[in-house]
Amino acid sequence: AQSVTQLDSQVPVFEEAPVELRCNYSSSVSVYLFWYVQYPNQGLQLLLKYLSGSTLVKGINGFEAEFNKSQTSFHLRKPSVHISDTAEYFCAVSVLNQAGTALIFGKGTTLSVSS
Amino acid sequence: DTAVSQTPKYLVTQMGNDKSIKCEQNLGHDTMYWYKQDSKKFLKIMFSYNNKELIINETVPNRFSPKSPDKAHLNLHINSLELGDSAVYFCASGGSSSYNSPLHFGNGTRLTVT
């Protein structure tokens, strides 16, 4: 069964520092991977997605992620964070089974950016 | 021109009451979902509908009953509310190939049961 593990529940960083949010997945079939961001009291917004092709995926707000099949990872990175990047970040894998399709989410990583 | 809209945004009610949350999407998507986010921010799928047909029904108490009058709407009715139902409920929609297309989420309904 597909699953997603976000290795860090909280990541505190200073403004303008680089950040990496780690995500590992398990799947026995082809995967489609996503990163979503949730700002306080809001819904989830898509940051980026990996479907196929280039393993380096660029998203919105300067974020990028690299799909690594051998390490079953899809880590999210940003070279220089802003205060406004403070939010909850979710890694997700798309699941297709007899019951239909759904996104399975990791438990989330809280990114806290301070000055 | 909100893509996925939920109402109400906040819902405070007492144990034992029945309540409904409404969801509408104007993206033309075939598939709609309900997710529950608990106090630890964990997101778990509850239901999915494709063209008004129930596709996914996770282990959810039968007090929860989704209803899809048409493919643009997916409402969630909850009977006999319990304290443990307190959470944020998110509606989402996806395209017909939603396996490899992202989901679009509403802004959530924060349900508080007292």
Across the interface, whether the CB atoms of A51 and B56 are under 8 A apart is answered: no
Q: What is the per-residue pLDDT for A53?
A: 86
Q: Give the count of beta carbons closer than 10 Å to the beta carbon of residue A39.
A: 13
Across the interface, whether the CB atoms of B41 and A88 are under 8 A apart is answered: yes
Across the interface, whether the CB atoms of A101 and B98 are under 8 A apart is answered: yes
- Give the pLDDT confidence of B8-41 residue by residue, as tens digits: 999 999 999 999 999 999 999 888 999 999 999 9
Across the interface, whether the CB atoms of A45 and B106 are under 8 A apart is answered: no
Q: What is the per-residue pLDDT for B1?
A: 64
Q: What is the per-residue pLDDT for B43?
A: 94
How many whole angstroms separate alpha carbon B79 and alpha carbon B77? 7
CA–CA distances in Å: residue B17 to residues A13, B12, B26, B83:
44, 10, 30, 11
Q: Which of B42, B50, B100 shows the shortest C-beta gap to A100?
A: B50
Residue B50: pLDDT band (50, 70, 90) is confident
Structure token digits, residue B105: 């989420």
Mean pLDDT value across residues B102-111:
93
Mean pLDDT value across residues B90-102:
77
How many whole angstroms separate alpha carbon B108 and alpha carbon A69? 33
How many whole angstroms separate alpha carbon A9 and alpha carbon B40? 10
pLDDT tens, chain A, 115 aa long: 678 999 999 999 999 999 999 999 987 677 789 999 999 888 999 999 998 888 999 999 999 999 999 999 999 999 999 999 999 999 999 877 655 677 889 999 999 999 9
Q: Which of B56, B102, B108 shows the shortest C-beta gap to A100?
A: B56
Write phi, then psi, for A83 (nearest 5 degrees).
-55, -40
Residue of chain B nearest A47, judged by CA positions? B102
Residue B52: pLDDT band (50, 70, 90) is confident
The amino acid sitting at A91 is: C
Q: What is the per-residue pLDDT for A63?
A: 97
Q: Is B66 on the interface with A (CB under 8 A)?
A: no
Decide: B27 and B44 in contact? Cβ < 8 Å. Answer: no
Q: What is the per-residue pLDDT for A110?
A: 97
Decide: A106 and A8 in contact? Cβ < 8 Å. Answer: no
Q: What is the per-residue pLDDT for B49?
A: 87
- Give the pLDDT confidence of B57-94 residue by residue, as tens digits: 787 899 999 999 998 999 999 999 999 999 999 999 98
Q: What is the per-residue pLDDT for A19?
A: 98
Which conformational region is residue B46 in: left (phi greater than 0), alpha (psi within -120 to 50 degrees), or beta? Answer: alpha
Q: What is the per-residue pLDDT for A99?
A: 58
Task: Answer yes or no: is pLDDT of B98 > 60.
Answer: no
The amino acid sitting at A69 is: K
- Between positions 11 and 30 of B, the ones with CB within 8 A of A are none
Task: Answer yes or no: is pLDDT of B111 > 80.
Answer: yes
Residue of chain A nearest B110, judged by CA positions? A41
